[in-house]
Homo-oligomer: A and B are copies of this chain.
């Protein structure tokens, strides 16, 4: 859970790690055993605690044997059966009965993704608070507005930050909507739950089809996921989650772009703040690099093509289980999810520590007053007030509107 190729990766902790996926797959199989028992398909003793039977120490073994079936479920089942059999032969016998590999992998991925979305949503909420405070503090801090890199008209830093806030709130709306999406996948071999229904019949349940039809919802409820008809080739669930994550890195990338620009020494209006051990150089003792902004920009560049891969995979879904388009989702989603979490916390930290140099902003405005007021002069002519600090249009109203939206959002979470 740290990656030399992606500094900051450890910020995502165990989210969507191999270990997390393994635990989630085990949780799915354990939940399924209980579900079969409660439905009257499997006998009561088949219920078992599987958690802990297969652990991180087994990851390599499972992973390496995964290629044979194209996914890690078969080797995982071998291990689980071998280890539960000595104490519970019923569990060993009923393990995975009625499910297919895709049920286990998809549901486990959704469990992992759910945790990611929760974490990202928490960070976004924290950012809403921090950026709101920044907006409130600087709603009267006048600075130069810049368009196409050139001075335009004056704005306030509060207005700029309210734009960041809009982005964060939009992203939070997207993640909130996506949070409802992680669903259990319970379809069996080809999405008909054929084996489960047959098992229900063999078990002598009264209405086998009805019993089988209830299994998906039961497992979903047990795991805290949404219930949905089998979706082995309807991958909108995955793409919409991906889009929501990319929507986050977009919002943060834009903040980072502003920070990277405004910390340039010739502008010097923002800085990431001095933190021990951060922003240094291996050769130049004076440097204070905007390293968080740099790393967030990195994630913002990486994310859109990963989101595109998920869409391409969805578009190529064929038959009742796709021949490669399904398999490409797992690592793509993992990489996108972890880098989003990393960027989330980096952005939170960046915003929380951001130093705003109001004097430098004022100096820029004073020095560029002529340019910043050219529009005003073209409107008001000789009558134009020569003070750029009074040429702020409806900035106040705009800032208030965004702050109000932030308040509503935060109230909706509490």
Contact = CB atoms under 8 A, between A and B. Distances in A.
Interface in A262-313: 263-267, 277-291, 293-309, 311-313
Given A192-B145, A375-B195, A393-B212, A301 B316 contact: yes
Which of A147, A335, A374, A392 is the most central at the interface, judged by chain B CB atoms within 10 Å of its CB?
Answer: A147
A261 B146 CA distance: 12
A394 B62 CA distance: 32
A201 B315 CA distance: 45
B159 A191 contact: yes
A319 B258 contact: yes
B391 A194 contact: yes
A408 interface: no
A73 to B, nearest CB: 5
B394 A189 contact: no
A396 B2 contact: no
Interface string A239-269: 1100100110111011011101101111100
A7 B393 contact: no
Contacts of A395: 192
Interface residues of A, number: 177
A228 to B, nearest CB: 9
How many copies of the shown chain assemble into the complex? 4
A66 B266 contact: no
B265 A151 contact: yes
Contacts of A190: 145-147, 152-155
A328 interface: yes
Given A209-B394, A301-B313, 11 more contacts: A10-B63, A101-B281, A150-B289, A153-B192, A155-B192, A198-B391, A250-B315, A253-B316, A298-B327, A301-B315, A335-B335
B325 A297 contact: yes
A282 B152 CA distance: 12
Nearest to A216: B394
Interface in A178-203: 188-199, 201-202
A43 interface: no
Nearest to A267: B266
Contacts of A162: 229
Contact of A327 (B21, B295, B364, B383): B295
Interface in A29-86: 59-60, 62-74, 77
Contacts of A230: 398
A295 to B, nearest CB: 6
Interface string A200-230: 0110000001101100000000000000011
